[in-house]
Copies of this chain bind each other. A is one copy, B any other.
Amino acid sequence: MPTSVSDITSAIRPVEAGLSLVSDTINDIISDSDPRLGCFLDYLKDTHGKMLRPAMLLLCCQAFSNAKPIHIKVAAIIEMTHAATLLHDDVIDSAQSRRHKPTANQIWNPRIAILLGDFLLSRAFAISTTLGRSDVSEILAKTTDEICRGEMLQGSQRNNFDITVADYIEIIDKKTAVFFSASCQLGALLADADEESVENLSAFGLNFGIAFQIADDLVDIIGDESTAGKTLMRDIAQNNLTLPIIHALSVLPPDSKAELIDSLTTGVATSENLNSLLTSAGSIKYTISQIDAYVEKAIKHLNCLSDDSARKSLTKLAQAVIPEKI
């Protein structure tokens, strides 16, 4: 099931050395001389994920020039901001695991998890004040703003069984895709790429991000917790309607639709019965076709790249998001 971790790992191999510098930079930034904070900060150091956003920033940079120290710093800021949102998400969803490890709220309590998120945001902010590039700070600020707006928008649409596909795409565009878009944009911008390329890579990131989030939402419903390494069925628990459900609601006959709404609102929906209902409604197939379409749209924006190796890696990365046909 989505997404193929080995394909992602292989796609980002060309920037492995850069990612290792990003990781060291993050560990440096969050270090503290106070030993009483050690256990909390060690947790932050140990929980870097695949670092997809830094990888995309570095791949987009590599299409034009070698990575400079500012690329590494900005990639670190982006990953720290992302990690902060995950910490806060896990409190909100009372999630018990993430990246195959217990969450901070599980190890300690929601207070520490919220604080660790705020701490990461605060240190990321501190580093961004040292960049000396107001255009970069502006893009970062606009991005975090858009993420919050997307999350609030999602909050305003909970339990709205009339939500349209367009509403859903708007939400994931803001809450997820703009972050990938900004990562690609910044990678190119900081490598002094021409304006057209910066715009194309920004559009690549946006479409990649939409495909990524649709796939992530699909895994949340029909995925396997041990493979995903995190608590699933979170959207259902939070009454956030995602693409397969939105599709099913629009095609099911009235009786089955009422039954689906009932199982979602009463909290009796399980992964198994949703999987079977969504499969019979053609909603899984439809969802995968949409992921496919956004990946294709993303890849088209790579035509501008004259560097073969970066184009191939980014194409491979985008294709890794597509779930195996089921």
A268 within 8 A of B: no
A51 to chain B, nearest CB (A): 21
Q: Is A168 located at the chain interface by the 8 A CB criterion?
A: no
Cα A151 to Cα B110 in complex, Å, equals 13
A36 on the B face (CB < 8 A) = yes
For the residues of A in contact with B, the DSSP-based class is helix
Complex Cα distance, B153 from A32, in Å, reads 12
A111 at the interface (CB under 8 A from B): yes
Given the known interface contacts A119-B145, A145-B126, the answer about A156 and B91 at a Cβ–Cβ threshold of 8 Å is: no
How many A residues have CB within 8 A of the partner chain? Answer: 46
Copies of this chain in its oligomeric complex: 2
Among B32, B85, B108, B125, the residue within 8 A (CB) of A141 is B125
In the bound assembly, the distance between CA atoms of A167 and B91 in angstroms comes to: 28
Which residues of chain A from 259 to 305 have any CB-CB distance to chain B below 8 Å in the complex? none
Do residues A119 and B152 form an inter-chain contact, with CB atoms below 8 A? yes
1/0 contact trace for A96-128 toward B, CB 8 Å? 000000000000111110111011011101101
**Among B114, B134, B138, B153, which residue has its beta carbon within 8 angstroms of that of A114?**
B114
Cβ of A70 under 8 Å from chain B = no
Is A155 located at the chain interface by the 8 A CB criterion? yes
B118 touches A148 (CB 8 A): yes
Residues of B within 8 A of A126 (CB): 138, 141-142, 145
Residues on B with C-beta less than 8 A from A88 are 114-115, 118
Cβ A122 vs Cβ B141 within 8 A: yes
Residue picked from A126, A130, A153, most chain B C-beta under 10 Å: A126
Task: Choose among A110, A152, A155 the residue with the greatest number of B CB atoms under 10 Å from its CB.
Answer: A152
Which residues of the partner chain B approach A155 to less than 8 Å between Cβ atoms? 40, 108-109, 111-112, 115
List which A53-70 residues lie within 8 A (CB) of chain B: none
Min distance, Cβ A119 to any Cβ of chain B, angstroms: 4
A-side residues, CB < 8 A to B, are 32, 34, 36-37, 39-40, 85, 88, 91-92, 108-112, 114-116, 118-119, 121-123, 125-126, 128-130, 132, 134, 137-138, 140-142, 144-145, 147-149, 151-153, 155-156, 238
24 A–B contacts from the bound complex (CB under 8 Å): A36-B153, A36-B156, A37-B149, A37-B156, A88-B114, A88-B115, A88-B118, A91-B91, A91-B110, A92-B110, A92-B111, A92-B114, A115-B151, A115-B152, A115-B155, A118-B148, A119-B149, A123-B145, A125-B125, A125-B128, A126-B138, A126-B141, A129-B137, A129-B141
